[in-house]
Amino acid sequence: MFRSNEPTGVRVNTRSGASSAPPIAPEWWRAGLYLLLALFVQVEFMHYATLRGAQASAVLVVVVWYALRADLLAAGAFGVAAGLLEDAFSAQTGIAWTMATPVTALFVAYLSRWFFADSIPALASVVFVATLLRRMVFWIAMSLQGYPPGYARLHLHAALWEALLNATLIALLMLAARLRESRTA
């Protein structure tokens, strides 16, 4: 009747949904360091690893990682911080990442109440959907700022490839973390 989601700290009653057990979020300083490292990797190196015009987003992977283990308020705040940092280093995006990233973090934090966060297929699926949601909100924000509407099919194509790359990246990172845990245990 009950199953325990240890990584998110939520007990889920399969009949009535999530209970109110508090999630156990990573420390802010650790999450902040991971975010800065992901931003550096994304700005400096990720553009070398493109696939059909899309590149993986290390920042999104860190935001999803944090949001899976945090409550809604902390996930939203972390998403705002990540979005502000991305907009600070992006040319001509205005506040599009600042709008898209917290929406994605809130979505993932809410969704994490309903599944086991250490399942690689579930996590990869969440990252895939989160990438598409983030891109959708990003392009809505860009169009509100006056970006010309066109090339919708091209942007959708790139978003689908980015979602696939992000899902692959999170799966590889989870496998590496499990390998590291098994060697230290």
Tens of pLDDT, residues 140-169:
998 888 877 777 777 888 999 999 999 999
pLDDT tens track for 11-54: 454 545 555 555 677 888 999 999 999 999 999 988 888 888 88
Average pLDDT over residues 120-141: 93
Q: How far apart are CA 162 and CA 124, in angstroms?
A: 12
CATH level 2 (architecture), domain 2-184: Orthogonal Bundle (1.10)
Task: Give the residue extent of every domain in the chain.
Answer: 2-184
- For residue 72, pLDDT beyond 80: yes
Contact by Cβ (8 Å): 88, 81:
no
Mean pLDDT (whole number) for 76-84: 96
pLDDT at 11: 46
Q: Compute the mean pLDDT over every residue in the chain, rounded to the nearest whole number.
A: 85
Place 112 in a pLDDT band, splitting at 50, 70 and 90.
confident
Cβ proximity of 18 and 115 under 8 Å: no
Find where tokens 């240890």 sit: 6
